[in-house]
């Protein structure tokens, strides 16, 4: 992985910043010196950033993460011909290195779980974006629909009064019970949806070759969960962040 400094030009004089004209500066992909917090920090902080950059290069796969965002076609499509890229699926990956300490709520210094954090942007098409959004939000849509339907029923005064006559807490217990049923119904619908669409979309983000190599090197998703890594989607690439710009050459 190489950093092309020439692709990244600062918008004003950075003064005595230690990051000036370095590969680390280009890799951070800041929009310019006025927007760079490190440029306003002291020399010690800038020196630490340079050291972090050298470490990050060793922690990433040999090809870096640029292939994920620069692919012209969707990396989630499972068909023989992938659809054109229309979005970027974005998530954050963390690493425990370099080891850092933080102060706990009771004032004791403890080892931090996250030493490094980088954004990962993955080429995605409209169809796969829709499938991911349905996977994530379908359970809550169904839960909300069932709950709203119950509220509408309980708004019928005679029915609500008859329930209260049996037990004052019965409407509340009924509401809680229906909410739980709605939640599990939503999870079931989600599983059915994923099963139906898994021939179209690769829902397991961790199965992407570059992501798999990152995991092998100790990276982990901050939004990882048993049912899949959560993604947000954008038409545009990120304007800043480690290795998020075109200055990074695989």
What DSSP character marks residue 207? G
Mean pLDDT of 25-40: 76
Q: Of 40-44, 128-132, 213-217, give the lowest mean pLDDT range.
A: 40-44
User: Band of the pLDDT at 11, cuts 50, 70, 90?
Assistant: very low
φ, ψ of residue 87 to 5 degrees: the values are -140, 170
Per the domain annotation, does 33 fall within a domain? Answer: yes
Last residue of a domain, one of 177, 197, 217: 197
| CB contact at 8 A, 102 and 112 | yes
Token pair for 226: 């048993």
Confirm whether 65 is domain-assigned: no
pLDDT at 50 over 80: yes
Would 240 be classed as within a structural domain? Answer: no
Q: Is 90 exceeded by the pLDDT of residue 249?
A: no
Collapse the DSSP code of 29 into the 3-class scheme (helix H, G, I; strand E, B; otherwise coil) and give the result.
coil
Task: Check residues 249 and 44 and name the one with the higher pLDDT.
Answer: 44
Beta bridge partners of 95: 116
Q: Which two tokens stand for residue 171?
A: 């409407």
Name which of 1-5, 130-134, 187-191, 216-220 the model is least confident about: 1-5
- Which value, to the nearest 10 degrees, does the dihedral of the CA atoms of residues 213, 214, 218, 224 take? -120
Distance CA(62)–CA(60), nearest Å, equals 6
**pTM for the full model?**
0.78
> Which among 28, 59, 90 is the end of a domain?
59
Residue with tokens 């993604």: 231
Give the model's pLDDT for residue 124.
Answer: 97
- For β-strands 87-95 and 220-221, DSSP reports them as antiparallel
Split into its structural domains, the chain has a count of 2
More confident residue, 53 or 134: 134
In whole angstroms, give the CA distance from residue 120 to residue 249.
15
Q: Check if the beta carbon of residue 29 is closer than 8 Å to that of residue 247.
A: yes
- What integer pLDDT is reported at residue 102 of this predicted model? 64
In a domain, 84, yes or no: no
For residue range 55-97, list pLDDT tens digits in order: 888 899 988 888 899 999 999 999 888 999 999 999 999 998 8
Q: Domain range spanning residue 166? A: 132-197
List, for residues 88-117, the tens digit of each pLDDT value. 999 999 998 877 766 655 666 667 778 888
In a domain, 204, yes or no: no
Report yes or no on 164 lying in a domain: yes
94 within a domain of the structure (yes/no): no
Domain annotation covers residue 8: yes
Question: Among 179, 197, 215, which residue terminates a domain?
Answer: 197
For residue range 131-181, what is the model confidence (pLDDT) as tens digits? 999 999 999 899 888 888 877 877 777 766 777 777 777 777 877 888 888
CA atoms within 13 A on the CB side of 9: 3
Residue 230 is predicted with a pLDDT of 86
């Amino acid at each position: 992985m190489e950093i092309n400094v020439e692709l990244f030009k600062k918008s004003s004089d950075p003064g005595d910043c230690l990051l000036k004209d370095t590969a680390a500066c280009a890799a951070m992909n800041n929009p310019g010196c006025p927007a760079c917090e490190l440029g306003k920090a002291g020399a010690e902080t800038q020196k630490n950033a340079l050291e972090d950059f050298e470490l990050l290069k060793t922690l990433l796969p040999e090809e870096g993460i640029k292939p994920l965002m620069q692919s012209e076609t969707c990396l989630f499509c499972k068909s023989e011909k992938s659809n054109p890229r229309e979005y970027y699926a974005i998530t954050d990956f963390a690493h425990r290195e370099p080891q850092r300490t933080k102060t706990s709520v009771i004032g004791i210094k403890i080892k931090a779980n996250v030493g490094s954090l980088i954004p990962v942007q993955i080429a995605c098409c409209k169809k796969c974006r829709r499938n991911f959004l349905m996977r994530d939000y379908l359970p809550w849509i169904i839960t909300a629909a069932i709950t709203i339907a119950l509220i509408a029923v309980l708004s019928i005064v005679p029915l609500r009064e008859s329930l209260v006559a049996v037990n004052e807490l019965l409407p509340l217990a009924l509401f809680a019970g229906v909410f739980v049923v709605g939640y599990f119904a939503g999870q079931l619908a989600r599983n059915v949806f994923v099963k139906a669409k898994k021939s179209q979309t690769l829902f397991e983000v961790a199965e992407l070759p570059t992501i798999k190599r990152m995991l092998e090197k100790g990276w982990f998703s901050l939004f990882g969960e048993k049912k899949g890594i959560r993604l947000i989607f954008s038409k545009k690439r990120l304007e800043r962040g480690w290795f998020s710009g075109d200055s990074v050459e695989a």
